[in-house]
Amino acid sequence: MDIQVMASGSKGNCYRINDGETALLIEAGVSLKTIQRACRFHLSDISGCLISHSHQDHCQSHSHLAAFGMDIYLAKDTLAEIKGKGHRYHALEPLKAIDIGSFKIVPFELKHDVTNFGYLLVSMKTKEKLLYITDSYYCPYRFSGVTHMMVEANYDVEYLRQNHHDGVINGKLKNRIIQSHMSIDTLLQMLKANDLSKLQQIYLIHLSENNSKADEFREQVQKETGVSVTVC
């Protein structure tokens, strides 16, 4: 599985994945120009774009991609929220699998402050399983046989408390983060609860600029899983 990170975090998110037969985008939260450059101006080689939810850092270029003829896949609520119009938009139902090229994709609901989908992508070509989870304080599902994970590690609650204490963030923002994003502790608990026997690689995504420490997160997740950890 080839995973290319164009951007990750509250300023923008966009990833390109490729199993050697089918290439997909996950999220469209960067400018069209950034996506075009990353794809070497071969947008037609991408079979579709999965969007998790309606926040700008995940969907800002959806209408440009649709205008370029790219199929956009997202939750029904998200489609209504972003006001996507036309035959390029495909509303997904939770837990109803779809096929795009060589990928079988299962959307599932996550806990955020708007409707938000995670995705399990199974490559029929390589038999690899990629789990994608972001912008969620909790994932209610368990998965087995996952080979690649892209998961949010947004904040450490101690840094969040300290930043609130020091006046770097206000109480409202602190509470919003706790009620909508995944802490490193929640992620470590989630990893413990899942079958990691096939896991090869983890990408830690959507780290908070102020409330996280990349090196510490990498070390903690490496210790828990024993696999290679990439911080995006």
Strand partners, 131: 120, 149
- Please tell me the count of residues contacting Zn ion according to CB under 5 A: 3
Give the DSSP letter of residue 145. Answer: S
Site for Zn ion contains 57 (CB under 5 A): yes
CB of 213 to Zn ion, least distance (A): 19
Site for Zn ion contains 156 (CB under 5 A): no
For 6, 7, 31, 206, the CA distances from 11, given in Å and listed in that order, are 12, 8, 11, 9
Which amino acid appears at position 141 of this protein?
A: Y
Of 56-64, 83-91, 154-162, 163-171, which part binds Zn ion (CB under 5 A)? 56-64
Alpha helix positions (H), 86-130: none
Which amino acid appears at position 74 of this protein?
A: L
CB of 106 to Zn ion, least distance (A): 21
Q: Which residue number, 92 or 182, has a Cβ lying nearer to Zn ion?
A: 182
Cite the beta strand spans of 28-145 per DSSP E: 46-50, 72-75, 89-92, 98-100, 103-110, 116-123, 129-133
Cβ atoms 38, 58 nearer than 8 A: no
Among 135, 143, 159, 204, binds Zn ion (CB under 5 A): 135
| Closest C-alpha to 161, from 133, 185, 138 | 185
Q: Which residue number, 22 or 208, has a Cβ lying nearer to Zn ion?
A: 208
Site for Zn ion contains 27 (CB under 5 A): no
Q: Which residue number, 135 or 156, has a Cβ lying nearer to Zn ion?
A: 135
CB of 152 to Zn ion, least distance (A): 8
Per-residue contact track with Zn ion, 36 to 55, x per CB under 5 A?
-------------------x
CB of 58 to Zn ion, least distance (A): 6
Task: Match 């899942």 to its residue by tokens.
Answer: 194
φ/ψ of residue 72, rounded to 5: -115, 130
Q: Which of residues 166-195 bind Zn ion (CB under 5 A)?
A: none
CB of 30 to Zn ion, least distance (A): 12
Binding positions for Zn ion, rule: CB under 5 A? 55, 57, 135
